[in-house]
């Protein structure tokens, strides 16, 4: 579960992951069809240490995919990192 931490802190971690992912895939302008796997690997330990999130890698991959789908469908005008942070908090928060 995520401790009650301001969603902005979680959103900033997601933005960091986005920047690092884009750098890792700079040759293809950030394109990566397996992005949820990469993000889960990057985020998992950071989420555990900073937010007390006890998900497995596969749970996190699923949550990221669902967050992306929800963002596209429900809130395309909200910054992705903010939406994902809210989604993660609502889905796995206390």
**Per-residue pLDDT of the chain in tens (94 residues, 90 and over written 9):** 444 445 679 999 999 999 999 988 888 887 889 999 999 999 999 999 988 888 999 999 999 999 999 999 999 999 999 999 999 999 987 4
> In this predicted structure, what is the pLDDT of residue 2?
40
* DSSP single-letter state for residue 46: H
> In this predicted structure, what is the pLDDT of residue 6?
52
β-pair partners for 85? none
Q: Which two tokens stand for residue 43?
A: 């985020």
> In this predicted structure, what is the pLDDT of residue 69?
97
CA atoms of 50 and 75, how far apart (whole Å):
26
In a domain, 2, yes or no: no
Residues of the domain holding 75: 7-92
**Contacts of range 33-39, beta carbons closer than 8 Å, 24 or more positions apart:** 36/61, 36/64, 36/65, 36/68, 37/61, 39/64
Q: How many domains does the chain have?
A: 1
In a domain, 1, yes or no: no
> In this predicted structure, what is the pLDDT of residue 4?
44
């Amino acid at each position: 579960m995520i401790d009650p931490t301001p969603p902005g802190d979680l959103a900033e971690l997601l933005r960091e992951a986005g920047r690092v992912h884009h750098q890792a895939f700079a040759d293809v302008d950030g394109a990566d069809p397996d992005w949820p796997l990469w993000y889960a690997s990057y985020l998992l330990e950071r989420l555990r240490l900073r937010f007390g999130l006890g998900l497995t890698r596969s749970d996190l991959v699923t949550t990221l995919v669902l967050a992306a789908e929800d963002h596209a469908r429900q809130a395309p005008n909200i910054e992705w990192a903010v939406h994902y942070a809210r989604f993660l908090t609502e889905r796995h928060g206390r």
